[in-house]
Amino acid sequence: MRHFSSSFRIWHWLQAVLMFGMFITVLLRTTVMHKEQIGGIVQSRLAEIGTVITDEQAVLIGKAVRSPMWDWHIYMGIALAVLLVWRIAMVLKNGFGFDNNPAMQKVYRLYKAFYAVLAAMSLSGLVLYWKLAGESKATVETVHMVLGWSLFAFMAVHIIGVVLAEKSDQKGLVSRMINGRE
């Protein structure tokens, strides 16, 4: 049975909270805080009081309103990149800490894939934030978006998987991830 050290548990829950936070920022950006949606509301309200603005101006206002919310994507993204470095340091020092349970080997491969995708997300995110992509900007954005959604899918699969493991042959798994006891 795997032992979860206190630093690993702190790392795990910080990462879980931040990943949920990232999901919320993306959800807001693509729904109620969509720049065109906000811009459209401002545009129609201004029209009611006799001020006409163009669609482009409306989108600019939409982006400006969205901006303080989206800053959180950047803060939490940078924090996640730092957490990834922390996890890499743990792995270099003590290995992954996976056990030999044959039923879990596929899951452990999925965790390794998760780390690889997280590394690609951190790099592509920073490249976009620092505007380093040049002519490849659209490609980097697409890679970042598609991989980002794959991480959100991982979260769903992971949580369902943990619940199923807890209910079948790994009773106490979640409790061990919280308080570390064997």
State the residues that interact with ligand HEM by CB under 6 A. 2, 12, 15-16, 19-20, 22, 26, 29-30, 73-74, 77-78, 80-81, 96, 104, 107, 111, 114, 118, 121-122, 125-126, 128-129, 141, 144-145, 148-149, 151, 154-155, 158-159, 162, 173-174, 177
128: number of Cβ within 10 Å: 17
Query: Closest CB to ligand HEM among 61 and 81?
Result: 81
Residue 22 vs 42, nearer CB to ligand HEM = 22
First to last CA, the chain: 8
Helix (H, G, I), strand (E, B), or coil: what is residue 105?
helix
The 8-class DSSP code of residue 32 comes to T
Measured in residues, the chain has a length of 182
Token code pair at residue 100:
């030999």
Which residue lies nearest ligand HEM, judged by its C-beta? 125
**Closest CB to ligand HEM among 47 and 113?**
113
